Structure 1
Amino acid sequence: MDRLLLTLLVVAFFGLCVLGMWRGWRRQARAQSVEFAPFPEVPADPGTPVLPAMRGVYVCSTRAGHWQQRIVTRGAGVRSAATLCLYPEGVEVRREGAPEFWIPRESVVDAKLARGMAGKVLGTDSLLVITWRLAGTDIDTGFRGDGTDSYPQWIDALGAGTVEKGSQE
């Protein structure tokens, strides 16, 4: 009887912890839905890809410079298998099981490598981070490619179309 009671208490405690985390995530998503504009949708005809598509994992999006502050609103905080496609007018982030979104080329501020981002920390610079501007707020979007060989091409291609950090849209 004592063992059953203790087991039920542990399961109940675990359930309350999970419930608290879920409610915190939902509250943060509600607060951020006011703070961040919806991510742009992919155009119907984005054009011809500039580089071959890169498969990997969409890690997350954060406020630029704050690598631990994950944006969770509108599905942006869901880590998922993804494909990045670079077009002349922007970057398509196609995610499995989560909404896809578009990073307009004119919004790209920077592209660089990083060691970590919101719960994903690596020993080397293995994350491709695209910094872009959404309604006046700079956002870092992290992607871990299946192979890092194409990162320099992506950084060069995205760097050619960057906007000035001080400019306003």
Structure 2
Amino acid sequence: MTPVILLAAEKESAEVTDWAARIGWLVGLALFVALVYWLMREGWKWRGTLQGDLPELPTAPEDPGPARLTLSGRYHGSTTAGQWLDRIVAHGLGSRSRVELTLTDAGLDVVRPGASDFFVPLAALREARLDKGIAGKVLTEGGLLVLTWAHGDRLLDSGFRSDQASEHHEWVDAINSMIETTTTEGAER
């Protein structure tokens, strides 16, 4: 006796019978996502309002002098100095972007395509260090160049990452040396 092989009939998916319930759930989910996005946006704007006392960002002088160092990479944002999660959003400082940094004897020129450029005078620079994180970005130890600088009556930390991470040490050494020289010259006067 030969075994009989029965072929299963072609499977069909069950028909959707309650279109109104499915559409209702999709509309509800879309409204929930839109509400969460709107609340996040309002929070960002509120943070900018709270930081409204921050003065306008300085612009580069007409002739800042020859470039000591240049860096191409990413700007990851600014925070209150020492508080790596307290993001500063006023004047576009919270917007991530590409960046071109130029260090001169006058200070640091920060050029950000698609965001507002700014200049940090040498007298405002306080420290350069390597760190692992700033609000919204965490990297390996030493993967982020963080510059502490004074703006108005606040100290800010701004985070940068070079396309060539090996450049970070050179930047830290150069900036800290310039700050130390400026501080020493100021104390001698």
TM-score of the superposed pair, with normalisation by structure 2: 0.82
Q: Which amino acid aligns with 1:48?
A: P
Matched, 1:14 2:33: yes
2:74 alignment partner, SS class: strand
Structure 2 residue 35 is matched with structure 1 residue 3: no
Following superposition of structure 1 onto structure 2, how do residues 63-142 of structure 1 map, counting pairs within 5 Å? 63-142=80-159
Task: Please state how far the C-alpha of 1:96 moved relative to its aligned partner.
Answer: 1.4
Query: Is the 1:108–1:161 contact (alpha carbons within 8 Å) kept by the matching residues of 2?
Result: no
Residue-by-residue CA offset, 1:57-115 (whole Å, 9 max, x unaligned): 00001110000011001111000011111011100111111000001111111100000
Does residue 46 (structure 1) correspond to residue 67 (structure 2)? The answer is no
Q: Which has the larger radius of gyration?
A: 2
Question: Cα deviations across residues 107-153 of structure 1 (Å, max 9, x unaligned)?
Answer: 11110000000010012211000101112311101101111222122
Runs (4+) off by over 4 Å: none
SS at match of 1:81: strand
**Number of residue pairs aligned between Structure 1 and Structure 2:** 162
Q: How many percent identity over aligned positions?
A: 35
Asked which structure has the greater RCO (Cα within 8 Å, sep 6+), the reply is 1
Stretches of structure 2 that go unaligned for 5 or more consecutive residues are: 1-19, 184-189
Residue of structure 2 in register with 1:167 after alignment: none
Separation (CA, whole Å) in 2 of partners of 1:28 and 1:159? 31
Aligned residue among 171, 174, 186 for 1:157: 174
Query: How far apart in 2 are the matches of 1:123 and 1:49?
Result: 29
Deviation at 1:45, TM superposition (A): 2.2
Give 1:5's aligned amino acid.
Answer: G
Which amino acid counterpart does residue 55 of structure 2 have in structure 1?
A
